[in-house]
Amino acid sequence: MAGIVGYGAFIPRNRIKTEEIARQWGKDPEVIRRGLLLREKSVPGLDEDTITISVEAGRAALKRAGVDPHLVGALYIGSESHPYAVKPSGTVVAEALGIGPEVHVADFEFACKAGTEAMFVALGLVESGRVRYAMGIGADTSQGAPNDALEFSASAGGAAYLFGSQHLLATVLETYSYTTDTPDFWRREGEFYPRHGGRFTGEPAYFKHVGAAARAILERTSLTARDFKYAVFHMPNGKFPLAIGAELGFTREQLDPGWLVPTMGNTYSGSSPTGLAAVLDVAAPGDRILITSFGSGAGSDAFVLQATDLLPERRGRAPTVRSMLDGRRRYLTYGEYAKYREKIIVND
Amino acid sequence: MPSPRYWREVPTRFRLEAGRCTACGKVVYPARRVCPACRSETFEPVVLSPRGTVVTSTVIHAAPPEFQMEAPYAMAIIETPEGARFMVQVTDCEPGEVEPGAEVALEFRRIRKEGKSGILCYGHKAVPAR
Amino acid sequence: MRDVAIVAAGMTPFGELWHHSLRDLFVEAALEALRAARVDTVDSIYVGNMAGGQFVGQEHLGPLMADHLGMRGVPSTRVESACASGGVALRSAFFEVASGLSDLVLAVGVEKMNDGGDVTGVLATAADQELEAYHGITFPGLYAMIARAHMAAHGTTLEDLAAVSVKNHGHGALNPKAQFQNRVTLEQVMASAPVAEPLRLLHCSPVSDGAAAVLLCPLARAREFTDRPVKIRASAMATSSMALADRHDPSMLDAVTLAGARAYQMAGLGPADIDVAEVHDCFSIAEICALEALCFVDTGKGGAAARTGETALGGRLPVNTSGGLKAKGHPVGATGIAQAIEIVEQLRGEAGDRQVADAAIGLTQNMGGSGGSAVVHIFERV
């Protein structure tokens, strides 16, 4: 049986409030807050990117695991904002974490579910016995186009998971993936901002795939919503995960600890992985946890996990998600936000 | 930043790998061949703790081209528990709030971007501790 | 070792000299010195220049300058020690004459900083590239840290720093070759734009073009070229750690202390024997620290010196009567030679309105980077 031996997350300290973005574009912030259930989001500094976030999350995961990084046989980073178009994020992160050179590394990409796909493959390698430990990371610093709805939610952050087969903090009981070709959201090579299909991103995309993956894994495990303590869904905005959660029979109590989006924003490949980390920060031994991601294009990965007795004693080794969300942070003006997100045109 | 020059520095910049002189105990960061304190040439490897204390600092207003978008930013000489002293930027803070004696943590950050097409250069920056 | 004298000097004005290229500057200063001595060739040339390659893409300055002086064939070497390049050029010329190898050696410092290069970036190459410049420190940033450390250790104030700039501008107003001939007030200095806290624009020397040249020969032959030679009584150099973080105390310029001690010993003199001095005020804090390192005042008392008028013309020890780097200008490679020229003029009684009465012994202190190298010379009227 394989599972999580270490986990960690990192959320940048800069924030911008919904009101500040709304003010810029002459929109009513109340409408956004009520409609999308978003209050503020994280903003990466000029010195932060998917690589730096992955390194800090990875360090936390290794601390909680207490594992020598040289024993990590595979490292996968899933993101839609890898800093290079060609040159893996994974090699920089591996060197920074002290992993390798005897290691498999690749960058993963599948919109917002690249992180959970990386986790799935890392888990599979450990289960097959090919490697002793494997790490899967989901991290992003995605851009929202100015004056577009996604500008209120696109944020930065990530979480890292180290998989192994001993001294587990959470076992993985089952996985399931559901994928079709659905062009709800995309970005062509060379374009700075993505494009999306408006309301098409709802029913035919998010709800169809998350619903299908979650229902299938529940059936496969012969479990119902009531058998779980917590459920985490991909969080493109505040409303979608609450809606699918309710549809599947989960209560607010089950959803709240992993529902980070109102103050974190949508960290894309980091979204449900960070939600899972927030749940692991509070879960008690024996608690069952469902996580279902969503990546546009489209697909969903679902995992059923169960916390072990070892979790409570290890999680104190690194900062909790809530301490990063609620702790020291800086609020930016729209101008500072535009500068940090490099939306201001400058000469090279 | 030429690739070989950056690549040689990876253990120093990414993992805070330093050297402790076995003759006099001085911790040298980055590691070098000859101990600046006693001229001995035998060292043992030591990895610095990712934290330290500010020795002195400034806030840069007139910045070099690669750093202009970040200005004003704080720079500090920090000292780690092992006794190593080096220069870093201090980030995620109001630049003016950095004071001698302040405790900092070291986080992995992107230090430089070489325009739109050059390599990305990483390292550590200081962040004020709680 | 033979006694060595400076027998002639030449200098361009310092400032934004748009019509002059690097080689134009060098030739103008050198010719002025050669003509004053009535010679048309020399045995050897030393060119002090920090960054010809970075500012104008030109290395190999030794032969270039000899060529442009019409002296093809003459040995000519470029020497570099960041902002102490002029000082080491003087020192190199001194060795060659003192050793007996050559009789007439020209030492010229030159820098062309205004041809469009990124000055902040180029000057930062005097700092440690891998440890300091890589992370975003600038030259003013290093001295800002030195200032902060000095202020924390000794209670030196920003007004003390400003008083140095006010004094030096007051002197520069009397120097026809100075880049700035306007006086400034304490208020103007304190209100100028922040550069690297706590240093403001008027605490910092400017970006300048310029060249300065001196001609050296054995003292025994000096009267062939001038009736007022000046003897070089001591030449000393010292280094310190490159990175500011590696100094044992960031508020102390130990290279200057060491070079000063060596110079005093070589000359058989002490700080009380010095009548006039040119020190390296690249930033006003540097003058304060240099006064302490050269033992002109006790450690920690450097801040008071300008504030109380001790180091102004008419004071106990006039420092930087030329206007210093702040008002005279700081074409980096030229400064070390320009400092020597001011002392030479003082000792020859040719300093006009800036004359220190009866100056017999003078000292120059030239420094590179954040204090990684320091060169001290002591001169004597003969």
Domain-wise residue ranges, chain B: 3-128
Can you spell out the DSSP letters for C311-343?
Answer: TSTTSSS-B-TT-HHHHH---GGGHHHHHHHHH
Cis upstream peptide for A101 (omega within 30°): yes
B: neighbours with 3+ CB pairs under 8 Å? A, C
Mean pLDDT computed over every residue of chain C: 97
Helix (H, G, I), strand (E, B) or coil at B69: helix
pLDDT for the residue numbered A346: 82
Q: Which residue, of C195, C224, C253, is where some domain finishes?
A: C224
pLDDT for the residue numbered C137: 94
Cα A317 from Cα C343, distance rounded (Å): 65
Residues 6+ apart with CB under 8 A from B98: B54, B57, B59, B74, B76, B90, B128
Distances from the Cα of A226 to the Cα of A234, A245, C277, angstroms: 20, 12, 87
Q: Are residues C187 and C332 in the same domain?
A: yes
Residue A348, pLDDT above cutoff 80: no
Q: Which residue, of C193, C224, C255, is where some domain finishes?
A: C224
Q: Are residues C187 and C68 in the same domain?
A: no
CATH number of B3-128, picked from 2.40.50.840, 3.30.70.580, 3.40.640.10, 3.40.1710.10: 2.40.50.840
Q: Are residues C24 and C111 in the same domain?
A: yes
Pair A202, A341: CB distance under 8 Å: no
ipTM for the predicted complex comes to: 0.95
pLDDT digits (tens, 9 = 90+) for A139-187: 999 888 999 989 999 999 999 999 999 999 999 999 999 999 999 999 9
CATH number where C90 lies: 3.40.47.10
C: neighbours with 3+ CB pairs under 8 Å? B
pLDDT for the residue numbered A347: 79
Q: Are residues C181 and C192 in the same domain?
A: yes
Q: Which amino acid is at B72?
A: P
- Show the tokens assigned to A185: 């959201």
pLDDT digits (tens, 9 = 90+) for A51-105: 999 999 999 999 999 999 999 999 999 999 999 999 999 999 999 999 999 999 9
CB pairs A-B closer than 8 Å? 58
pLDDT digits (tens, 9 = 90+) for A27-52: 999 998 998 999 999 999 999 999 99
Q: Are residues C347 and C265 in the same domain?
A: yes
pLDDT digits (tens, 9 = 90+) for B50-103: 999 999 999 999 998 889 999 999 999 999 999 999 999 999 999 999 999 999
Question: Structural domain of residue C269, as residue ranges?
Answer: 119-206+232-381
Give all domains of chain A, ordered by start, each with its CATH number: 3-169+323-340 (3.40.47.10), 170-307 (3.40.47.10)
Contact B91 A95 (CB under 8 A): no
Residue the block writes with tokens 């809530």: A322
Which residue among C145, C152, C196 sits closest to B62, beta carbon to beta carbon?
A: C196
Residue of chain B nearest A99, judged by CA positions: B15
Q: How large is the C-alpha radius of gyration of chain C?
A: 19
pLDDT for the residue numbered A329: 95
Contact B70 C136 (CB under 8 A): yes
pLDDT digits (tens, 9 = 90+) for A176-212: 999 999 999 999 988 888 889 989 999 999 999 999 9
Q: Are residues C130 and C113 in the same domain?
A: no
Given CB atoms, is B101 within the 8 Å cutoff of chain C?
Answer: no
Q: Are residues C102 and C162 in the same domain?
A: no
C213 confidence band (pLDDT: 50, 70, 90): very high
Mutation site for B-interface testing, chosen from C123, C131, C134, C202 by largest number of B Cβ within 10 Å: C134
Distances from the Cα of B97 to the Cα of A290, B105, C145, C278, C353, angstroms: 43, 15, 15, 37, 46
Q: Which residues of C are catalytic?
A: 83, 330
Which residue among A14, A51, A348 sits closest to B116, beta carbon to beta carbon?
A: A348
Contact B108 A96 (CB under 8 A): yes
A342 contacts on B by Cβ (under 8 Å): 69
Contact B61 C196 (CB under 8 A): yes
pLDDT for the residue numbered A138: 98
Given CB atoms, is B57 within the 8 Å cutoff of chain C?
Answer: yes
pLDDT digits (tens, 9 = 90+) for C57-93: 999 999 999 999 999 999 999 999 999 999 999 999 9
- Give percent of chain C with pLDDT exceeding 90: 97
pLDDT digits (tens, 9 = 90+) for A256-289: 999 999 999 999 999 999 999 999 999 999 999 9
pLDDT for the residue numbered C167: 97
Residue C117, pLDDT above cutoff 90: no
Residue B130, pLDDT above cutoff 90: no
Please give the average per-residue pLDDT across A227-247, as a whole number. Answer: 97
B59 contacts on C by Cβ (under 8 Å): 144, 194, 196-197
Q: Are residues C131 and C27 in the same domain?
A: no
Residues 6+ apart with CB under 8 A from C304: C160, C297, C310
A80 is a catalytic site residue: yes
A118 confidence band (pLDDT: 50, 70, 90): very high
Residue of chain B nearest C198, judged by CA positions: B58
Residue B1, pLDDT above cutoff 90: no
Which residue among A47, A98, A328 sits closest to B110, beta carbon to beta carbon?
A: A47
Residues 6+ apart with CB under 8 A from B121: B1, B6, B13, B110, B111, B112, B113, B114, C134
Element (H, E) at A288: strand A288-292
Cα A215 from Cα A221, distance rounded (Å): 10
Residue of chain C nearest B61, judged by CA positions: C195
Please give the average per-residue pLDDT across C204-232, as a whole number. Answer: 97
Contact C136 B60 (CB under 8 A): yes
Catalogue the E-assigned strands of B1-130. Answer: 17-21, 27-28, 43-47, 51-60, 73-79, 85-90, 103-113, 120-128
Q: How many CB atoms lie within 10 A of CB A86?
A: 6
Q: Are residues C289 and C162 in the same domain?
A: yes
Residue of chain C nearest B31, judged by CA positions: C131
Pair B99, B57: CB distance under 8 Å: yes
pLDDT digits (tens, 9 = 90+) for C323-360: 999 999 999 999 999 999 999 999 999 999 999 999 99
Contact B92 A13 (CB under 8 A): yes
Contact C145 B96 (CB under 8 A): no
CA nearest C168: which of C153, C150, C180, C155?
C180
- Show the tokens assigned to C171: 């002197």
Q: Are residues C158 and C213 in the same domain?
A: no
B109 contacts on A by Cβ (under 8 Å): 45, 47-48, 52
Tally of structural domains, chain C: 2
Mean pLDDT computed over every residue of chain A: 96
Q: Are residues C114 and C135 in the same domain?
A: no
Contact C244 B77 (CB under 8 A): yes
Distances from the Cα of A313 to the Cα of A91, A161, A284, C35, angstroms: 31, 17, 11, 85
